[in-house]
Amino acid sequence: MQQLIGSDILTLAEFTPQTLAAFLERASAQKRAAKTAAAFRPLAGRSVAIIMLKPSLRTRVSFEIAVTKLGATPVILGEGSAFSRGESVRDTMKVLERYVDCIVLRTFAQSQLEEVAACASIPVINALSDGYHPCQVLADLLTIQEKKGKLAGVRAAYLGDGNNMANTLLIGAALAGMNLTVGCPEGSDPLPEAVEVARAIARATGARLEIVRDPHSAVAGADVVITDTWTSMGEEAEHDMRVQRFAPFRVDAALMSGAAPGAIFMHCLPAHRGEEVTDEVIDSPASVVYDEAENRLHAQKALLTMVLG
């Protein structure tokens, strides 16, 4: 656990299989403890800047509540206040690091996160970028462990766009020893660098990672079926083209029927019902999307305590 103290968390590749196991143990323990009356405020007297450059519901609320419950002070900043009047990233970070103990940033370009992390002397956490979504995948792994009792050897399928979720799920599955098949159309693959990192980790953990073009073969025998929106923020002009392109990868009852008995369905939300998933699936007993959303809070509490020591 000492390994993560003071670390930036930008892609999830900062974890090792051992730190992931420690993280999951801590998140589960803190989640159980949250149901008791005893206050747990290990970050009392600390402060965390939460910078939201993309609109947000789950990320904004879960991080603000997580910071508050841990005893720290959340400072919420939008685009106009965090990077205003043309001030450079370096100047902004060099001032901000003198006020707060950690920066949580939700933004568009992964390169901006990397620039912020390079300039700041305090930990920077990626709350979402176009490249990676580590906080969501940590919550997903916590949810899968709760529902399936383990991660190693679990078979998961991700369907749709090879986006930030696919990139990070590959790394997370590799760290956990899970088997992950990404089903996506040609030309929509995950980032090559994410695949390379994940496969290097998988060689040590025994995880099996695949990218296939057929959604039915991707889902066959899967214990977990995961999808995400086909049109992310900033891609609205491509919506109609994307709906047509990804239509074969829609998760409906027929596709879910090819998964293993007792398979669960996951989506990081917001869901575009009727596009990447149908009502009959997301509202079915197999769906754990609201448990998954709740676990953003518990995962981020554990992550903050590990990064801030």
**pLDDT recorded at residue 37:** 61
Instruction: Check whether residue 254 and residue 121 sit in a common domain.
Output: no
**pLDDT recorded at residue 29:** 95
Instruction: Check whether residue 70 and residue 160 sit in a common domain.
Output: no
CA distance 133 to 139: 10
Contact between residue 162 and residue 44 where contact means Cβ atoms under 8 Å apart: no
Contact between residue 133 and residue 165 where contact means Cβ atoms under 8 Å apart: yes
Catalytic, 296? Answer yes
Which listed residue (26, 58, 60, 106) is catalytic?
A: 106
Which listed residue (26, 58, 133, 267) is catalytic?
A: 133
Which listed residue (101, 161, 268, 298) is catalytic?
A: 268
Beta strand pairing call for 179-183 and 155-159: parallel
Q: Find, among 54, 32, 104, the residue nearest to 74 by Cα.
A: 104
Instruction: Check whether residue 269 and residue 140 sit in a common domain.
Output: yes
Instruction: Check whether residue 140 and residue 239 sit in a common domain.
Output: yes
Residue 48: domain span: 2-132+296-307
Helix (H) or strand (E) holding 260: none
CA within 13 Å, CB half, 63: 27
Instruction: Check whether residue 140 and residue 124 sit in a common domain.
Output: no
Q: How many folded domains does the chain comprise?
A: 2
Instruction: Check whether residue 168 and residue 265 sit in a common domain.
Output: yes
Handedness of CA 279, 284, 286, 290 (dihedral sign): positive
**pLDDT recorded at residue 5:** 97
Instruction: Check whether residue 141 and residue 88 sit in a common domain.
Output: no
Catalytic, 60? Answer no
What six digits make up the tokens of 221? 């025998």
Instruction: Check whether residue 108 and residue 186 sit in a common domain.
Output: no
Report CA Rg, the chain.
19
pLDDT in 10s for each residue of the chain, 309 residues: 568 999 999 999 999 999 999 999 999 999 999 887 667 899 999 999 999 999 899 999 999 999 999 999 999 998 778 887 788 999 999 999 999 999 999 999 999 999 999 999 999 999 999 999 999 999 999 999 999 999 999 999 999 999 999 999 999 999 999 999 999 999 999 999 999 999 999 999 999 999 999 999 999 999 999 999 998 777 778 888 999 999 999 999 999 999 999 999 999 999 999 999 999 999 999 999 999 999 999 999 999 999 999
Three-class SS state of 209: strand
Residue 248: CB atoms within 10 Å? 14
Instruction: Check whether residue 150 and residue 284 sit in a common domain.
Output: yes
Which listed residue (30, 136, 145, 300) is catalytic?
A: 136
Residue 47, domain CATH:
3.40.50.1370
**pLDDT recorded at residue 283:** 98
Instruction: Check whether residue 243 and residue 178 sit in a common domain.
Output: yes
Instruction: Check whether residue 285 and residue 272 sit in a common domain.
Output: yes
Beta strand pairing call for 47-52 and 73-78: parallel
Which listed residue (145, 223, 228, 267) is catalytic?
A: 228
Catalytic, 133? Answer yes
Phi-psi region for residue 271, left (φ > 0), alpha (ψ -120 to 50) or beta?
beta
If you ran DSSP here, which 8-state letter would residue 284 be given? Answer: S
Question: What residues pair up with 155 in beta bridges, in sequence order?
Answer: 179
Instruction: Check whether residue 123 and residue 140 sit in a common domain.
Output: no
Contact between residue 119 and residue 89 where contact means Cβ atoms under 8 Å apart: yes
Which listed residue (30, 296, 298, 300) is catalytic?
A: 296
Catalytic, 242? Answer no
CA distance 42 to 29: 14
